[in-house]
Structure 1
């Protein structure tokens, strides 16, 4: 019995010892498991925080950069509707707290709301001063907010900027939920392990070895791999080769969830990069992508003897499409033009060329060429490509079931001949493209160093032209117009002259073109019209018994395409000056009509409703044919002086002039000849039935007082 008691005691002691060992082992294992779970949670928390912060930072910078690119034109033209659409779209992001568009002084222009409640207020938050003073992309943080801002530039001029606030609590909440989910899953896994330890209590050693092996294989190794992957994602390497797991437990779900998260982050990174480097409308590379590609090309080409060319192509008169047909039609034009450019590049330059859209209606092409004795150089390739582009983009486009003629102006600059840096090449390309515009559009020009001086002179001329009317430097002269049948003066053409205080008389062909390109013509045109009408009224008042004289005023294409504003200006001028509408003749060039006859016809119809006469100036130089006389409502045509100059010795010019007169008369249109310099020209035009004429043989342009004196002398 004692033996039994001793064995029982020993057994109990052994059982008790085993139980104590088991409890201690379990306690130690639970302690170790708790520590391991905490380490896993902290590692995962740190990894996820880095990934989320990095992703949010990249997404915020990408969105603000894209928003700044899109807001350039709306901010430049102060288009609040366009700003509202862009900012409202950005505000729809789930973590976007605010979007602000501000000017260069930090005054808010748009906040994405319909009412723009903060319009005109200066930004005064804690980040405001840093944002306003920043010259580039700026990201600022506080406890609950990430503020990303960047200036909006046009060329070297800062128009203002845009800033966007992202709520960090959204990403922090996502992180905490993910960590909590991981903690719960690890807790479930730990409970299963404890239950397993209790069930195999009699095999403590084997259980310990097995558990260590299982933990190492099923938990530590996957978590360690996840931690390594998270660190790579944090470093920006998103394309990871994560192993697929068929496990059905929490660790397997965690591995699959992490794999899906990695794929999602990589996909969002690709989307952000695509948005940051791709033009949304045409699918081409944008300015940022092109600049990086150009920098990379220049870095690779240094010292290798390679050459490249940049072609800056700007669509001529593109603004007219937006103004007359709407921005949807303008987008359609850009898509069609980009497709034509791609086709030409594929045929002429192959895969070595890179095409990008810089915004608006400007496209840039990069062409490379290796120095070879048996192949064309980069200049020849660029020339051939530019010639084909001019031809292809000069073909009519079908927009909203109508033909639109635009054309393109192309500037070309070469590396390393013209410049060795990306910034200089792009500046030179812009200058060459501008010179192509000045040369008459729908052509191409290579950059030369003389263009820098020409651009500087043109900029100075534009600056001096502003305010020239107020300073009294601009004045009108009047060239008499005579009726050929009895050589009686019936009117005069008003011509604008600029007497520069330093350079003297500036050629009208120079400063009128500057006024047209800069938009100054829109302010000068009404002043010229008012002055000419006032002078015509004065003639009638000074010579009441004389046959009323007409006055002709030139109208620029830019004024004509002002959306009906010209008719309103004319009506207001006639009312203010008291001039009879039938005595005012408005002259527009033939080339202003070509390309959009339907719209121009509507504008001319509105003008004629006011009672004024419309004349087609420089007729015959636009290569449009006499068919325009049937489709465009005009009262008269002025035969260009280039035809009149040779009618005495060139049978072709005489035949063409005679045909114009006969065709115009058959349509009931008055014919006026310009540039009559000889008595023989006058006699021949009179014989052919021309109605009126002007030229130096009949009378040169003269100031108002001299013209009035001539009228008095003829009235005697």
Structure 2
């Protein structure tokens, strides 16, 4: 069947509070042959669904009053919304948000910014799938139940049916009403423990697709009181004439007592009796599994090997009782350190605690199953050092113990559990030999990378006092007049030890370490001082232009930020209107009310405000209208292909039109070609910035340019 084999015209409801997104999605779906109704919030969506039986709904997540999650949940509670496919559109791509979307009933999701071509195919696929499911509802059959199995609950499920028929025993296990035995599969899945839910759903999906085998499977159920019960399912598959699965019979047995007995045996065999952590055998098995997954997905993992410094002396001096308590406290502190870490990704099927083991004596290991870079492992090691080095009161003694940590990274330090453990062990002994209470990478290259980051941070902390930072300025051109209307201040760093450090490296490091606050203050003060010099001199009357300064989120939320801006303006004598502060849309997400108050306070000072990289964040139109903005800055990601990509051209055009209707000016950044320049000029964009005009220049060259009243190309405009 072709992808277009979907009955048309289908009715689609587009729900999005962002005018640009709603317009683009609606127009794309109309051009694809669908009938489209569009609304701007969840309440309007609920009302529209009472009037019209929609075939599919596209639903934005971030909306005021009633967000997409709440709207989806309410639709699923209503008769007309139970089966309709709901495609959630979101800029949130983290696991928790995606999991929440499916939990409230979403059929699928697509991330923003929307790929229009992919959207059409996704919609057609969902409509086709929905039509196939509806056509199969009338074919439901029930077969005789497995009465021969004593004291077991049973169920049956026909191909194409949304509901299973449950016996009284199964209803009681699931905490459902036995008087209503027809239960949707999604309702049953909600009773399954969240860590087993995905595996169980995939198993059933494979069976219906003809690839699954009839077998027993164990999983957990959560009852109404929050208690966990262990059950075993056994399934029999009935095939139709073509050999495809047509009907499923299943039995469900409560095996909680059996599981508890097995668990006790397992703990004796595979856990350390003192700390309750996995022992060497279990950890090696988990490390083998993690290595297989890392190979399959082409990713890195890290292994930390820890040894407590001077543990033997403490054990011999204070006794084995204190030594045992110290090992137990170490295990708990390790768990806390790993749980608190946010730089490592964990397998969704396991807890971070399960990646810690006691190999014996005072040796512990920590498995980091997915890291993006070697520094992630170093961050965890540093956190462990801080945690374990805190004084500990045990049996009337205050004990301070420190760890020596060796780090090995897959695949470069070993491709088997044996070699990786050996590499980490060697690195740990290297840390001990170099002074204890240290961490060391096995690989010399990784050691160098971690050392480089530490060196860069150390040097960056001294950059301001050493006068190593400088500002370059990139001109901004007013398109109607062809004259320079402003410059953007951009930081540069040259260090005697490191040389010229790319901004992308030191700015991100500054934000991670909090150094962006003092560095940002230096940038703001220096830029204002330079702008004042330009406005006053060069032998000509003052030039009416502004200077734009980027403000980080951390800088913006500092107490007294508005006062700092006012103080710098007073110190430098710069007119407030000559200063433009550029903020990003992400600044509005955490505390929109607080951000709004600060923005209005800055506006009342007289400074100009701009949204930088507009179109890459999650601002809604309603929120945007509340902001005291002067300018929108179109992200260079959209500008770079306006002359070749219809989507980018449409977005840029829509942003320019929207800004004009709101009385805002628009500046396009990243303009690098004549074609981009001509496109933006034709669309009546107000201002542009980019290498097509000029690279960032030192202040002296900008001064010459302003003195000669030249455009960046050197003509008189």
TM-score, with normalisation over the residues of structure 2? 0.41
Q: Which has the higher helix share?
A: 1
Larger radius of gyration: 1
TM-score of the aligned structures, taking structure 1 as reference length? 0.41
